[in-house]
Amino acid sequence: MIIAVIALGLLAGASGLLLGFAAIRFKVEGDPMVQQIDSVLPQTQCGQCGYAGCRPYAEAIAAGEADINLCPPGGQNGITALAELLGRDPKSLDPASGIEKPKMAAVIDEQRCIGCTLCIQACPVDAIIGAAKHMHTVLVGECTGCELCLAPCPVDCIQMVPFAPTVTTWKWTYPVVEVKAAA
Amino acid sequence: MRFKTVTSPHLHQQTGVNQVMRRVLYAMVPGITALVWFFGWGILINLALATVMALGAEAAMLAARSKPLALHLGDYSAVVTAWLLAVALPPLAPWWMTVIGILAAIVVAKHLYGGLGYNPFNPAMIGYVVLLISFPREMSAWLIPHGIGQPHALSLLDTLQIIFGGAGSLPIDALTGATPLDVLRTQLGLGQTVAEIRNSPVFGIVAGRGWEWATAGFLTGGLWLIYTRTAAWQIPAGLLGGLAVMATAFYLIDPQHYAPPWFHLWSGAAIFGAFFIATDPVTASTTPRGRLIYGAGIGILIYLIRGFGGYPDGVAFSVLLMNIAAPTIDLYTRPRVFGERQP
Amino acid sequence: MSALFPFHGGLKTVRHKTESNQTRIWTAMLPPRLTVPLRQHIGAIAKPLVQPGDRVLKGQMIGQPDGYISAAIHAPTSGIVSAVDPQPVAHPSGLADLCVTIESDGEDRWINRQPVNYPHLHPSELRNVIRNAGVVGLGGAAFPSAVKLNPSGRSERLDTLILNGAECEPWITCDDRLMRERAADIVAGLQIMAYLLGPYEVMIGIEDDKPEAIAAMSAACVRTGYMVCPIPTRYPSGSVKQLVRLLTGKEIPVDGLPVDVGVQCFNVATAYTVHRAVNFGEPVISRIITVTGQVHGPGNFEVLIGTPFAALIAQCGGYREGVERLILGGPMMGFALHSDDAPVTKAANCLLAVGPAELAPELPVLPCIRCGACMDVCPADLLPQQLYWHARAKEFDQARDCHLFSCIECGCCSVVCPSHIPLVQYYRYAKNEIWALEKEKQRAEQARQRHQARMERLEREKQEREAKLRQKAPRVEVVASSGKQEG
Ligand code: SF4
Ligand code: SF4
Ligand code: SF4
């Protein structure tokens, strides 16, 4: 009898813990709409939209405070995707927030870097590594091209370099159909 | 050494849209010859007038949409539209009817929808339906098949005068009459049996006198189109099959009041429509099964319109109705892809 | 012989085989400089093992496979490595890729070759020999063969091992000549493959326009139990999916591999290199390539990997008048080279110089009239007209729904289209865009997570700082007041 009570008690306790853990682990975070919008944004985290990152911008869109055409890295495709998601008409990018540019990555001129760590503090995705007074390097694979590290650098040794196409990233282009006047 | 680069394949067959369209024109020749034989110069004059008008309208629209003129005029699609419409018009139709029909077909049905390849509706049939709705009396006034080489034929001059100047002193009413399908329809309405009606002089061996030979001509040309794979066999097969099934069913129920299936298949524009109108690829269904369904739909509609609708023949309306359905048919009749499991 | 199972669609194309298949395989000259790309296969680029200045011997490994799906690269001749850097390679983009450049010393001195007696080796060791010899599919795809020769992970025995000698593309005859002249070697390689895979049956598919090759292969297959199956000459019978269906009646599922239906398929030239690798210890450092079209002396050449195309063309007596395009591969699926200074790779089966005589005049593109001619020839049973519609409108999701990725880019649809629409290019474009978008999505997701991690870290650090601050609060006040005093 007592054993049964203890067993049941333990079982109840265990499942309670499990549930509690699950509640924390699988918590539905925030508003699913915000999440959906966020998943469409390019995650460059550059702040050109006027918000502190992609998620705050997503929240603003969901709340109806911001228009959908403020994100330059997302470009026209991003705006179209947002318009589709929200059932609105697509529009063109607001020139006030910036212009659409090819994808780029930051490169630090390692000769000139003085190891001030200012860029590390600016990088929204921790893509710059290096310790104080030591030369810093950008992890090209992680850099989102947000350009936030350019301004803080006291010696202007960071440059944005566009991604050059390689044989693995090269793409077939949209066919240019020449409609020639028949002779 | 550096070279020009383009994508594969580097081979191309020398077929072109213009060749496809030209074949359709050739295939219409036997049928048109028979029509001319039985109905006289009017057919030819309509054809010529429609062709000139269609090319003019096409050129004007192309210029307005700033497309290369020679290239698109050279694809012969406007000529095909013109011929399809002209063949469907009564031989003595006044010139302005042809003009209106062609304008409706080329300007509205074709170019306002984006030109060749983008029009959802068969342009010739739009032209025809516009005329049929606007001028029902003129559209049903077909010549009684006299034709060149037979007594009472209208001379070329007479025909020209009628088409461009009105009937004038000519006894036009005596020359024209209802089409065989019209006769069948009105007489059935008067309570006569099919067998009695068939005794009327407008009927020949299988169907309308004169008409039946034109149908034979179009069938010949149509079979040639299928043989050369210019047209998809599924559409005529579906159409004639659908029509035959409907006609047979009703004929078996009551042969007194419903014409036999061979009469239906051989009458009006059934054969012509099956091989030449419904097979217009742009507005038809494009999957193999879809084409069968599309054709069958037209066939069934033709029968329903002939038997129970307000018009003696229903090819034009049936085709247009199925044009609307074509994209949906395509969506649900996608063929099984290689390696895809049977659903 | 078993009955065939025809596939839908396909084309009877021009053949143009006799230009190059009338003479024996020539051995190409040793060029003074070889540029060996480190990426000649599907999968990860090989890791360079040499540096400029190193002396290498013929057959020495200069690129190491990087990961499971990768292939080794070897020095095609002896000499000195002069550079390890990006050089123009044979690619539709004309871009450069990492290559090892070797200045030949003219001696062509082999490394110590070690043939193995394979029945005494454990299959995994034998596979390693093949892997280290850099054997890849020589039919064009260049997939590392050792991976395909590994039956592990499958419980049942393989049903059918197919050797592909169809060579359905016009102009190409390198497999034809190889089968005619070295049938016994091919069969020896096939035996090694069969030893590794243990299939119930082995079939060799050869298009029936190659009677000599069929005869030679049949003679070599006597007493092996392998079936030589002549198949109708109909492009693209040499495409894996079509060949498997033709011979076995099985359809490789959409998104599937041949092994999913118990079949494995290799090119005849691959079998030949397996034989050389195992029984002679020779890695893949050469291949047979057809040079044909508008050149003075067309034919088949056994050529070292890394030989510039220009050197090969020079050996055929150079171009004839009016060459406009140089195609690597056949005219149906090959791509136009930007220039002839790119080098021969393992996958290069044909070099075709074409001029106005071969190329149809470029006809103006008209709108699609939905005639369905493309559908009638599509061997993948697709609706190319619908695919085109969606690709053109950049409706990638719909294109995918219409099975864009089942398209094998065979080109049949483009050939027959009366509107002369470059259909295949639209499909390639759409596929590339979809892949790029997918990569972009992954990147964005990665960035989102990193950003979130950073925000959490900053938050944590802030809290820690505050906690510390609270702990040390009294002292802070003192410092502050002392500051004031100083000020
Ligand atoms: S502008 Fe920058 S921060 Fe704003 S949503 Fe776009 S990528 Fe994110
Ligand atoms: S062959 Fe060309 S014109 Fe015909 S349906 Fe296909 S894409 Fe359209
Ligand atoms: S290229 Fe693709 S769509 Fe065209 S015929 Fe070949 S498999 Fe079909």
Q: pLDDT: is C155 or C245 the higher one?
A: C245
CB B148 within 8 A of CB B33: no
Cα(B204)–Cα(B279) distance, integer angstroms: 28
Residues 6+ apart with CB under 8 A from C325: B3, B4, B5, B6, B10, C336, C353, C354, C355, C359
Which one, of C181, C176, C150, C191, lies nearest residue C275 by Cα? C191
Residue that is last in its domain, among C382, C407, C432: C432
A111 & A160 share domain: yes
- Among left, alpha and beta (phi > 0; psi -120 to 50; other), residue C140 is left
Going by pLDDT thresholds of 50, 70 and 90, the confidence category of residue C355 is confident
Closest-CA residue of B relative to A174 is B7
Of B296-300, C127-131, C436-440, where does mean pLDDT reach its minimum?
C436-440
Q: What is the mean pLDDT of residues A118-142?
A: 82
Q: Is A143 in the pocket of ligand 1 (CB under 6 A)?
A: no
Q: pLDDT: is B170 or B279 the higher one?
A: B279
- Domain assignment present for A170: no
| Sign, CA torsion C428/C433/C436/C441 | negative
- Domain assignment present for A17: no
Backbone angles phi, psi at B182, to 5 degrees: -60, -45
Q: What is the mean pLDDT of residues C29-45?
A: 94
Going by pLDDT thresholds of 50, 70 and 90, the confidence category of residue B172 is low
The proportion of chain C whose per-residue pLDDT surpasses 90, expressed as a percent, equals 73
Closest-CA residue of C relative to B5 is C336
Q: What is the mean pLDDT of residues C337-349?
A: 93
A54 CA closest ligand 1 atom index: 8
pLDDT of residue B249: 94
pLDDT of residue B189: 77
pLDDT digits 0-9 by tens, C106-149? 999 999 999 999 888 899 999 999 999 999 999 878 999 999 99
Among C8, C245, C389, C410, name the best residue to mutate to test ligand 3's pocket (greatest count of ligand atoms within 8 A of Cβ).
C410
Give yes or no for residue C39 having a pLDDT over 90. Answer: yes
Give yes or no for residue A8 having a pLDDT over 70. Answer: no
Which one, of B133, B125, B123, lies nearest residue B315 by Cα? B125
Q: pLDDT: is B150 or C345 the higher one?
A: C345
pLDDT digits 0-9 by tens, C377-390? 999 999 999 999 99
- Domain assignment present for C441: no
- Domain span at residue A80? 32-86
Give yes or no for residue A157 having a pLDDT over 80. Answer: yes
Give yes or no for residue C482 having a pLDDT over 70. Answer: no
**In Å, how far are C243, C272, C369 from C207, measured between CA atoms?**
10, 19, 34
Chain A nearest C-alpha distance from B74 (Å):
8
Q: Which of C421, C440, C447 is the closest to A125 by Cβ?
A: C447
Q: Do C332 and B9 touch (CB under 8 A)?
A: yes
Q: Do A172 and B74 touch (CB under 8 A)?
A: no
pLDDT of residue C480: 44
Give yes or no for residue A22 having a pLDDT over 70. Answer: no
Judged by a CB distance cut-off of 8 A, whether residue B115 touches chain C is yes
Average pLDDT, chain B: 87
- Domain assignment present for A173: no
Of A7-21, B292-306, C309-323, where does mean pLDDT reach its minimum?
A7-21
pLDDT of residue B342: 57
C428 & C377 share domain: yes
pLDDT of residue A26: 55
Cα(C149) to ligand 3 centroid in Å equals 29
Cα(C297)–Cα(C110) distance, integer angstroms: 30
Which one, of A11, A70, A59, lies nearest residue A34 by Cα? A59
- Which residues from C are below 8 Å from B225, CB to CB? none
pLDDT of residue C277: 96
Of A107-116, B142-151, B207-216, C61-70, where does mean pLDDT reach its minimum?
B142-151
Q: Do C451 and A45 touch (CB under 8 A)?
A: yes
Which residues between 157 and 176 in chain A have a beta carbon less than 8 angstroms from any beta carbon of chain C? 165-167, 169-175
Give yes or no for residue A179 having a pLDDT over 70. Answer: no
Going by pLDDT thresholds of 50, 70 and 90, the confidence category of residue B178 is confident
pLDDT of residue A13: 67
Ligand (nearest to CA of B230): 2
pLDDT of residue C2: 56
Going by pLDDT thresholds of 50, 70 and 90, the confidence category of residue A9 is low
- Domain span at residue C378? 373-432
Give yes or no for residue C237 having a pLDDT over 80. Answer: yes
Backbone angles phi, psi at C110, to 5 degrees: -75, 150
Number of other residues whose CB lies within 10 A of the CB of residue C34: 25
- Domain assignment present for C224: no
**Reported ipTM:** 0.86
C410 CA closest ligand 3 atom index: 6
pLDDT of residue C97: 93
The proportion of chain C whose per-residue pLDDT surpasses 70, expressed as a percent, equals 96
Residue type, C27: T
Residue that is last in its domain, among C432, C448, C482: C432
Give yes or no for residue B167 having a pLDDT over 70. Answer: no
- Domain assignment present for A130: yes
pLDDT digits 0-9 by tens, A44-89? 888 888 888 888 999 999 888 888 889 998 888 888 888 888 888 8
- Domain assignment present for A141: yes
Q: 3-state SS of C426-478? A: HHHHHHHHHHHHHHHHHHHHHHHHHHHHHHHHHHHHHHHHHHHHHHCHHHHHH
C346 & C295 share domain: yes
- Domain assignment present for C322: yes
Q: What is the mean pLDDT of residues C212-225?
A: 94
Cα(C381) to ligand 2 centroid in Å equals 14
A114 & A63 share domain: no
Chain A nearest C-alpha distance from C95 (Å):
6
Q: What is the mean pLDDT of residues C440-451?
A: 88
Cα(B117) to ligand 2 centroid in Å equals 10
Average pLDDT, chain C: 90
pLDDT of residue B279: 94
The number of distinct structural domains making up chain A is: 2
Of A107-121, B23-37, B203-217, where does mean pLDDT reach its minimum?
B203-217
CB C238 within 8 A of CB C207: yes
pLDDT of residue A180: 42
Between chain B and chain C, the number of residue pairs with CB atoms below 8 A apart is: 172
Which of C435, C442, C445, C451 to mutate to probe the A interface, most A CBs <10 Å? C451
The number of distinct structural domains making up chain C is: 2
pLDDT of residue C4: 86
Backbone angles phi, psi at B312, to 5 degrees: -65, -40
Q: Do C450 and A54 touch (CB under 8 A)?
A: no
Which of B4, B7, B71 to mutate to probe the C interface, most C CBs <10 Å? B7
Q: What is the mean pLDDT of residues C319-324?
A: 88
**In Å, how far are B325, C259, C377, C449 from B116, measured between CA atoms?**
19, 46, 23, 50
pLDDT of residue C483: 41
pLDDT digits 0-9 by tens, B204-227? 777 777 788 899 999 999 999 999
Q: What is the mean pLDDT of residues B306-333?
A: 90
Give yes or no for residue C476 having a pLDDT over 60. Answer: no
pLDDT of residue C478: 46
Closest-CA residue of C relative to B327 is C386
A68 & A118 share domain: no
Average pLDDT, chain A: 80
Give yes or no for residue B14 having a pLDDT over 80. Answer: no
- Domain assignment present for A7: no
- Domain assignment present for C50: no
Going by pLDDT thresholds of 50, 70 and 90, the confidence category of residue C45 is very high
Instruction: Give SS3 for B176.
Output: strand
Cα(A42) to ligand 1 centroid in Å equals 7
Ligand 3 binding pocket (C-beta < 6 A) is C 377-380, 382, 384, 407-413, 423-424, 427
- Domain assignment present for C331: yes
Judged by a CB distance cut-off of 8 A, whether residue C95 touches chain B is no
A113 & A64 share domain: no
pLDDT of residue B147: 54
Closest-CA residue of C relative to A77 is C437
Q: pLDDT: is C253 or B168 the higher one?
A: C253
Q: Specify the residue with its C-alpha closest to ligand 2, atom 1.
A: C417
